[in-house]
Chains A and B, each alone.
Chain A
Amino acid sequence: MAPNLRLNAVAFISPQNHPILIRTFMKQDETAIKYHYIAHTSLDVIEERVLASSKSSECYLGLLYSMEDVAVYGYITPLKVKIVLAAALTDAVARDVDINMASIKTLHMAYYSAISNPFLVLHDSSGAIHDTSRPLLAGSPKWKHLRRRVDEIARIVGNPSDTSTAAG
């Protein structure tokens, strides 16, 4: 089994580059903004990659960049929802590609099932005109379900040993 992949943060970014959900798995909350920035800056690289390989249908963008102690992997769905995964930087970064790919695909599936919810209001733009107290976009309550799933995925990815128990 490959060494544990420690996920630091997962970010879902909408096609318009709005944050959908940013979930950090670090203990301290003050580092959350750092992962916001990581996700944001990774858009640069994602854009470049997507444009460079516009013809290919490859969703997984691989390692975007590594910075300080995190390695950032990217994934773009066919509908241009970007999934950015920030993993703790280990020496075995290069070997983890497959695992990352698998875990990102699970994240994609999580998102997919979340937006399959018929009661999910994706664009509340019509109400937004009159609603003066719109909450922040990222992590708005409508993604509660997705958040739970993402948490679970992160836990399983972090502890592959008890995959079987967690999956059950």
Chain B
Amino acid sequence: MQTRNETLIAAENYERQRQQVTHFAIHRLKSNGVCKSGGTHEKHNGERLREGRYSEPLPDIISQFNGAVLDMFPPSGMYSLARNCFVFEEGSSSGISPSGQQTELTIFPEMMGNRKLHIGTLLGEICSQILEFWLIQRLESPIGNEYLNASLLPVLPLLTDMPPSLDSKDTLPPLPSHNSHPEISKSALSKVTPVMKRNSSLGVPTVRKRLSAIGAASSHGRLFKVMADFFLLAGRIEDALIWYTEAIQLLKSPLDSIWNASALEGMATIPILDSWSAGHGLQTSTSTGREPWSDIADKLIQATAIYFKVPPSDVENYQFLSYLYCSCVLRHTSLLFAIWSAKGWGPLAFTTMLQPGPTPYLPPTLSHNESTTWANLERLSSMSGIPRTSISSLLAQTHGSWLLHLGPRERVGVLEAIASTYSCLGYRRKESYILREVLGCILDLIVCGRQEDAHTNMRSFGNKGNVGIRLNESSDGNDSILRLLKHVCKVLGVNLDAIQIMEDKSDPRSHSEADDDSDVYREPFGWPELQIGVVRESVAVAEALPDFLAVAQYALSSLKTLQEFLEAGDQYHLYSTAARAMQIARRRGIMKAVEYWSGRPVVSIALAPLPFIRLPIEKPMSALKPRSSDSNAILKGGTDPFLYNPRRINATQGKPLIVRNEALEFIVIIQNPYVFDLELQSLSLNTSGVPFESNPTSLVVPARSYHRVILSGKALAIGSLVIRGCVVQAPGGVPREFVIPLATEEEEERLTHKRSAALCEAGRFKYSGLDNFPWERKNKSRNSGSGSSRSSKTMLFLECKVIPEQPLLRIRRTTVTHGALMLYDGEMSSIRITFENISPLPIDFVRLAFDDSTITPAQQALAEGELSVFETYETEYALIHRPVFSWIKNDSVAIAPGRKVTLTINCFGKVGCTEGTIHASYSYIHRNPDDDGEEASVFHTRQISYPLMVTVYRMLESHGMDILPYPSYPMSTDNVAQSNSNLFVEDNGAWCLFSLDITNTYGTPFEVSIERVQEDVPWGEILVNVPPGSTSRLVIPLKKFLLSDDHTSRPIPTLSDRQFVVDKTKLSDAEQKMQRELFWYREELFKSLRCQWREAGGTRYGNLSLRQQRLTLTMLETIRTERAGIQMSFVRSGDSTEPIEHRAGKYHPPCSELVYVRIKVTNLTTTALVFTLDVNIDPREHVIHDGILCDIPVGRLEAKDSK
């Protein structure tokens, strides 16, 4: 069994080799075996490798072999077969014995070592067999000669038409001569040549003696030529030369011109073979002036010229004629090319010449990498003496109308040879041009092959001769065609590999860096018209193959790279083609996908701002501690004392806060520069940091537009969430990540830098043309310059901070209807707001803040600093002590999950207030310690706002404040009724009267009351009902007071702790003193009065502000207590105790009687003073006085002392 298997393996190896040969023929579509003209080759090749596969009895093997041969070549065919069956024996135990003794059977015993050599020998035998049959037995007969001379290109008839020959075992048709010469002479250069020597050594029977036997019905020229061909084939160069010379002499008639040319070609071959075998690798020095190959070249030129001038006699001969012509030119070219590439006539040149064909041997001068550099090519030209242009102009001769007459396969072959030569010459554009024609031919063949295929499928399977063209069954050839396409496109500057095909499940992040700067300016490259053409072609070719992945790849690549140049129709076509192809590929189970292609679709990513009630605000824990001056904030209005505060910038640009397990929204802007609607299968966010849950969405981006997409997601843990970019996936494509760095200044700078660098580079070019492909240049620049800068920069991404879950509060209800609040000026009222905790977390911290429309203007006025000190004080007072909304702080408000709480807010009606807002900040601070571990340094609050519309009616206007001296009329006792009045003051201290006019401008009556709340003074109140539209004056006595100098000399305080308050009004000291006195007395006055109003018959009440009233100097004088109090009385002189009659405040002293005037001086100030007294009596003529009246010394009186 073992041996049998080995036999099988060996046999299969050979079989595979053979198939490879055939396959190769299929590949390059050189399938000689199928078309008529290549018959010989197949005959050589056809059956000699047919081996016995099985360890069956030999007769069985032979019958199988014959059956197989018959299968392939039906006996009715016109070609004879040289058959031989090789049996490879493995091991002696198999018991194969050459019992049958058949001539066609050769058995390889196992012990034979060098099997390769033996097979070569046996092949030589087959060749000699062939030559013997055809040449000797067929053509030398007169009939054969007649056939040869029958027409320009004689076609020998089928077997049945041939008369039976003399001594043949089979009926073998003679060789169709038009097949012979190109093929044989060509192969004389290549494959068969090594065999030749062996042939001659094996001893082909010499034919010369038989020549006499040939009948001479017509000229022997053609026969001689055929003979010479065979001699050449057999390696007998001298014989061949003789026969060729004779043939050329005979073939002078115009009918024989192609034979003549062919003979010339043959003769041209001889010197090459000659020098090859003579030198066989050694350079024979040619010191003669002419180059050694010029002779050969002359002959070939001659032959070409003859072919060129052949009169086109017959239409069906065109194909052969042009093939002859083309192959002659090609031969010439390959001769020159070989010499050129080998740096001259030498062994290297022969080696090159010996191996033409699809995988030619390239001399080392061309096979290294820099072979196509200009220097190398030029050196070759100068060393060999053959300029490249001469080779290319030779080649150009084939290209033309001749090609049109060739059969498709020959045309492919010729074009292929042209293209490869151009490529080696460094004419890459020319090469690509030719290669496009090759592709065209191949596509023709594919289409033909399909039609043929349809026919063969009708018939029974088994006609293996047709396998060669059934391209669509095996996809082996497709790759080479696609490679060819890519090559052509590359030369034209289209990179069909711009989009890679990759495995479906590849990591989208693996190739993020590729072209993140593709939006940066791209320099156009190449020849757009040609590029578009070639792109269209390549897509069509890939479609025809069909290779759907390639279709998609090419279409999308060209969409990506040539987008600017493609017209709308083309773009649409390419896109739809690609989409269709991807669908089909998917349906057929191809698990590969194309890379994402559409440039850079994602323009920007931004975090959609959270709704205000959900927005968490980070606060340091220290904010919880009570602060000393809460009032400052409202006065400053958030202005910072520093002009530049770096911390503040950080605060505003800090990471946005997002809450764990709450939905987020990101706004992604997608662009579509194409004219069609771009479909994206999925679009998702690519994040790092904490786990993030988001659902990919699919969308269609409208043509030529920017599209806004909202992606939502949820962060699942606490920490930092970085949004690196988006992962985009086109239908049938591989997801691709696009990194979107944050548009920071550095990033912008980097981009502009890059762009300007690209623009700067754009005009410059060191290399032009094909040395300057954009994709290569990119590599170059990346290698050279930007390595360092790239490493140094770090991209910043959109980063969010994920914080723990936060409670959520909402306003359940308020006592305000329709969100509007109506207040009277100065009214005090309250509203209640009920909050509800709708989150599963408790709230243990609630703080309210308020805002209203009066705050901002006041703050602005304060900030401008144009107010006088007095006005500043008034404004500040209004801000701090009379806010529209106020709330009694209560830190211990806690709202359990799902519970409600009601808070009461006091409102104060302030004229000018139109709207206000209540902000409630709340948080869950005291969490379980095992949540965080250690005490957090920050906590987060959320705010909920309740805007209110406020209307404040001004209904009472106070004006005309005045302070009058209290009348010191003695109270008549009959005015008892009056003593009940408010105006009546029992005490006889220093009093004054405060009066105020109140006007009711509103529609309802109000009761206004002014209370006296002075210290040490009995309480007093005056109450007036002010009807609508009327003005009432309220008068209330006030006790005078005196403020100490220390008190009044204090500067007017500022309620804020503003620093650097420069006194702008330059007042003199006296004025300033006056101003301060006025200020302090006014303050004292307002302190001692309390004005209130109450809606008559209603529930509303409020304060009446006096602050708009100004204190004048006279009022000040009035209200201020004098420094000294004087009480005068008359007393009788002596010790008389009878008082002087004293009635109604008037003394009635008796006439002409001396009375004493007693003057009691009381120091009313708080400090000790020295007093003097002047007494003034009027009318003086009625009074006689004793003693001095002026400057009566009183002496020092202590405070409140009297004398």
Measured CB to CB, the residues of A under 8 A from B are 15-19, 22, 33, 36-37, 40-41, 43-45, 47-48, 51-52, 65-68, 80, 123, 125-126, 128-129, 132-134, 136-138
- Inter-chain CA distance A103–B981, complex, in Å, is 127
Also in contact, A17 and B530, with CB within 8 A (given A41-B427, A44-B430, A45-B389): no
Query: Which of these, A15, A16, A18, A44, contacts B428 with CB under 8 Å?
Result: A44
What 8 pairs between A and B have smallest CB-CB spacing?
A44-B427, A134-B564, A68-B400, A41-B429, A41-B430, A17-B769, A44-B429, A51-B374
Whether the pair B399, A68 counts as a contact (CB closer than 8 A) is: yes
Task: List 20 additional A-B contacts (Cβ < 8 Å) besides A43-B429, A48-B374.
Answer: A16-B765, A18-B526, A33-B529, A33-B533, A36-B527, A36-B530, A37-B530, A40-B429, A40-B527, A44-B427, A44-B430, A47-B374, A65-B396, A67-B399, A67-B400, A123-B762, A125-B523, A125-B763, A132-B564, A134-B564
Query: Does B401 have its Cβ within 8 Å of any Cβ on chain A?
Result: yes
One digit per residue, 1 when the CB lies within 8 angstroms of any chain A CB and 0 when it does not, for chain B 761-783 equals 01101001100100000000000
- Inter-chain CA distance A43–B282, complex, in Å, is 39
- In whole Å, how far is A38's beta carbon from the nearest beta carbon of chain B? 9
One digit per residue, 1 when the CB lies within 8 angstroms of any chain A CB and 0 when it does not, for chain B 426-459 equals 1111100100000000000000000000000000
Also in contact, A65 and B393, with CB within 8 A (given A17-B769, A18-B524, A33-B529): yes
- Specify the chain B residue showing the minimal Cβ separation from A44: B427
- Inter-chain CA distance A56–B525, complex, in Å, is 29
- Specify the chain B residue showing the minimal Cβ separation from A138: B529
- In whole Å, how far is A59's beta carbon from the nearest beta carbon of chain B? 17
Whether the pair A48, B426 counts as a contact (CB closer than 8 A) is: yes
Q: Which of B369-398 contact A (CB under 8 A)?
A: 374, 377-378, 388-389, 392-393, 396
Query: Which of these, B433, B528, B673, contacts A137 with CB under 8 Å?
Result: B528
- In whole Å, how far is A31's beta carbon from the nearest beta carbon of chain B? 13
Query: Which of these, B533, B563, B564, B768, contacts A15 with CB under 8 Å?
Result: B768
Q: List 14 A-B contacts (CB under 8 A).
A: A36-B530, A36-B533, A40-B429, A44-B427, A44-B430, A45-B389, A45-B427, A47-B769, A48-B427, A68-B399, A68-B400, A125-B759, A125-B763, A138-B527
Whether the pair B401, A68 counts as a contact (CB closer than 8 A) is: yes
Contacts of B16 in A (CB 8 A): none
Whether the pair B530, A40 counts as a contact (CB closer than 8 A) is: yes
Contacts of B399 in A (CB 8 A): 67-68
Whether the pair B521, A129 counts as a contact (CB closer than 8 A) is: yes
Query: Does B704 have its Cβ within 8 Å of any Cβ on chain A?
Result: yes
One digit per residue, 1 when the CB lies within 8 angstroms of any chain A CB and 0 when it does not, for chain B 1135-1161 equals 000000000000000000000000000
Query: Does B565 have its Cβ within 8 Å of any Cβ on chain A?
Result: yes
Contacts of A125 in B (CB 8 A): 521, 523, 759, 762-763
- Inter-chain CA distance A65–B418, complex, in Å, is 15
Query: Which of these, B392, B400, B565, B755, contacts A134 with CB under 8 Å?
Result: B565
Query: Which of these, B378, B704, B768, contacts A80 with CB under 8 Å?
Result: B768
Contacts of B401 in A (CB 8 A): 68
- Inter-chain CA distance A16–B769, complex, in Å, is 6
Whether the pair A15, B765 counts as a contact (CB closer than 8 A) is: yes
- Inter-chain CA distance A133–B570, complex, in Å, is 13
Contacts of B526 in A (CB 8 A): 17-18
- Inter-chain CA distance A67–B392, complex, in Å, is 11
Q: Which of B536-580 contact A (CB under 8 A)?
A: 563-565
Whether the pair A19, B393 counts as a contact (CB closer than 8 A) is: no
Also in contact, A48 and B388, with CB within 8 A (given A41-B427, A41-B429, A66-B393): yes
- In whole Å, how far is A115's beta carbon from the nearest beta carbon of chain B? 15
Contacts of B772 in A (CB 8 A): 16
Whether the pair A48, B389 counts as a contact (CB closer than 8 A) is: yes
- In whole Å, how far is A17's beta carbon from the nearest beta carbon of chain B? 5
Contacts of A66 in B (CB 8 A): 393, 396
Contacts of B433 in A (CB 8 A): 37, 40-41
- Inter-chain CA distance A126–B523, complex, in Å, is 11
Whether the pair A137, B524 counts as a contact (CB closer than 8 A) is: yes
- Inter-chain CA distance A32–B426, complex, in Å, is 26
- Inter-chain CA distance A43–B770, complex, in Å, is 10
Also in contact, A132 and B768, with CB within 8 A (given A40-B429, A137-B524): no
Also in contact, A123 and B389, with CB within 8 A (given A41-B433, A44-B428, A136-B528): no
- Inter-chain CA distance A15–B399, complex, in Å, is 29
Also in contact, A17 and B768, with CB within 8 A (given A44-B427, A66-B396, A128-B521): yes
Also in contact, A19 and B429, with CB within 8 A (given A48-B388, A125-B521): no
- Specify the chain B residue showing the minimal Cβ separation from A39: B527
Counting contact residues on chain B (CB < 8 A from A), the size range is 35 or more
- In whole Å, how far is B673's beta carbon from the nearest beta carbon of chain A? 5
- In whole Å, how far is B762's beta carbon from the nearest beta carbon of chain A? 5
Whether the pair B524, A45 counts as a contact (CB closer than 8 A) is: no
- In whole Å, how far is A39's beta carbon from the nearest beta carbon of chain B? 8
One digit per residue, 1 when the CB lies within 8 angstroms of any chain A CB and 0 when it does not, for chain B 385-429 equals 000110011001001110000000000000000000000001111
Contacts of B400 in A (CB 8 A): 67-68
Contacts of A128 in B (CB 8 A): 521, 524, 564
Whether the pair B378, A51 counts as a contact (CB closer than 8 A) is: yes
- In whole Å, how far is B131's beta carbon from the nearest beta carbon of chain A? 41
Contacts of B374 in A (CB 8 A): 47-48, 51
One digit per residue, 1 when the CB lies within 8 angstroms of any chain A CB and 0 when it does not, for chain B 1081-1100 equals 00000000000000000000
- In whole Å, how far is A134's beta carbon from the nearest beta carbon of chain B? 5
Whether the pair B529, A19 counts as a contact (CB closer than 8 A) is: yes
Contacts of A80 in B (CB 8 A): 768
Also in contact, A136 and B529, with CB within 8 A (given A15-B768, A18-B524): yes
Contacts of B762 in A (CB 8 A): 123, 125
- Inter-chain CA distance A45–B374, complex, in Å, is 12
Query: Which of these, A51, A52, A65, contacts B392 with CB under 8 Å?
Result: A65
- Specify the chain B residue showing the minimal Cβ separation from A54: B374
One digit per residue, 1 when the CB lies within 8 angstroms of any chain A CB and 0 when it does not, for chain B 800-820 equals 000000000000000000000
- Specify the chain A residue showing the minimal Cβ separation from B565: A136
- Inter-chain CA distance A92–B523, complex, in Å, is 43
Contacts of B525 in A (CB 8 A): 16
Q: Which of A41, A67, A68 has the most CB of B within 10 A?
A: A41
Whether the pair B392, A45 counts as a contact (CB closer than 8 A) is: yes
- Inter-chain CA distance A104–B87, complex, in Å, is 72
Contacts of B527 in A (CB 8 A): 17-19, 36, 40, 137-138
Contacts of B429 in A (CB 8 A): 40-41, 43-44
- In whole Å, how far is A121's beta carbon from the nearest beta carbon of chain B? 14
Query: Which of these, B378, B388, B529, B673, contacts A36 with CB under 8 Å?
Result: B529
- In whole Å, how far is B64's beta carbon from the nearest beta carbon of chain A? 53
- In whole Å, how far is A65's beta carbon from the nearest beta carbon of chain B? 6
- In whole Å, how far is B672's beta carbon from the nearest beta carbon of chain A? 10
Contacts of B426 in A (CB 8 A): 44, 48
- Specify the chain B residue showing the minimal Cβ separation from A129: B521
- In whole Å, how far is B541's beta carbon from the nearest beta carbon of chain A? 17
Contacts of B427 in A (CB 8 A): 41, 44-45, 48
Contacts of A37 in B (CB 8 A): 433, 530
- In whole Å, how far is A146's beta carbon from the nearest beta carbon of chain B? 17
Contacts of A41 in B (CB 8 A): 427, 429-430, 433
- Inter-chain CA distance A20–B378, complex, in Å, is 29
One digit per residue, 1 when the CB lies within 8 angstroms of any chain A CB and 0 when it does not, for chain B 487-525 equals 000001000000000000000000000000000010111
One digit per residue, 1 when the CB lies within 8 angstroms of any chain A CB and 0 when it does not, for chain B 999-1039 equals 00000000000000000000000000000000000000000
- Inter-chain CA distance A43–B430, complex, in Å, is 9
Also in contact, A132 and B704, with CB within 8 A (given A44-B430, A66-B393, A67-B400): yes
Contacts of A48 in B (CB 8 A): 374, 377, 388-389, 426-427
- Specify the chain B residue showing the minimal Cβ separation from A45: B389
- Inter-chain CA distance A88–B371, complex, in Å, is 35
Contacts of B564 in A (CB 8 A): 128, 132-134
- In whole Å, how far is B529's beta carbon from the nearest beta carbon of chain A? 5
- In whole Å, how far is B926's beta carbon from the nearest beta carbon of chain A? 57
Contacts of B377 in A (CB 8 A): 48
- In whole Å, how far is A41's beta carbon from the nearest beta carbon of chain B? 5
